[in-house]
Amino acid sequence: MPESRAFSAVTPSAVSQPGMPVPSDRPVEFAMAAAPAIEPPTRGRSRVYGYGFRDAKPINFGKISPRKLAVHGVDVSRWQGDIDWETLRTRGANFAFIKATDGGDHLDPMFKTNWRRAKEAGIKRGAYHFFYWCRTAGEQADWFIRNVPRDPDALPPVIDVEWNGESSCKVKLSRARVLEKMQVFMEKIEQHYGKRPIIYTAPDFYADNLEGAFQNYHFWLRAVAEHPSKVYPNRKWLFWQYSGSGLSHGVEGRIDLNAFRGSEEEWHRWVAGL
């Protein structure tokens, strides 16, 4: 989910980087001073809608096409504008990962609206954080916690880790340092929300840092030209981002398309176990 339109497990200690520069290429939006209130739970299984999307740049995945998977969803940010969530759901958005925060001081201006409206439409949704390598992991976890409510119905939080060429932070940390910072962030998030975070990543970042790491975490993998089994050999995954050029009623322009790995029944069991 790059912002271009603008997991052996590791257990390192928490180390900050006070001397590193702070990115300044994104607008700053300060949110509430304390963590949002806990939202009330809902009960019962939600209906699963079949695939109803189109694609501006369709890929032939052959016999392992994502369209054969039972449960599809989307991920969104400010770039999708004002979304008609009820319509989007009926087109096949059974889940949505919603952009919440970047770094330690940026809140996606559509997060609160998308977070509320997606739930009102009956969509299972989770929030994701775009990780900055020039900010301490603790600061970023605190910022995410300040802005994302603890909702027992929500999907696990997501840490989005990738190399971002558009950021003013041009540093590329060592694999050991990357894993260390991720661990600090994820442990703090898991302690607060009571759910182990999901790791989202792209092929180049994965090859540099994540191969063989974080075996006890679920992965959400970007693979828009080939099946994840070819792009990320030997890596188990839970979600597959298979297109960045999806089209659907309910949203203007393009939208990222994703699929859950299992069957509809496996989806219901996984959600019920969160």
Catalytic residues: 162
Q: Read off the amino acid at residue 173.
A: L
Burial string for 172-211 (b: 16+ CB within 10 Å, else e) reads ebeeebbbbbbbbbbbbbbebbebbbbbbbbbebbeebbe
Structure-token pair, residue 121: 């439409």
Whole-angstrom CA distances from 82 to 26, 73, 208 are: 21, 17, 36
Whole-number Å distance between alpha carbons of 103 and 183: 15
- Residue 232: count other Cβ atoms within 10 Å of its Cβ: 22
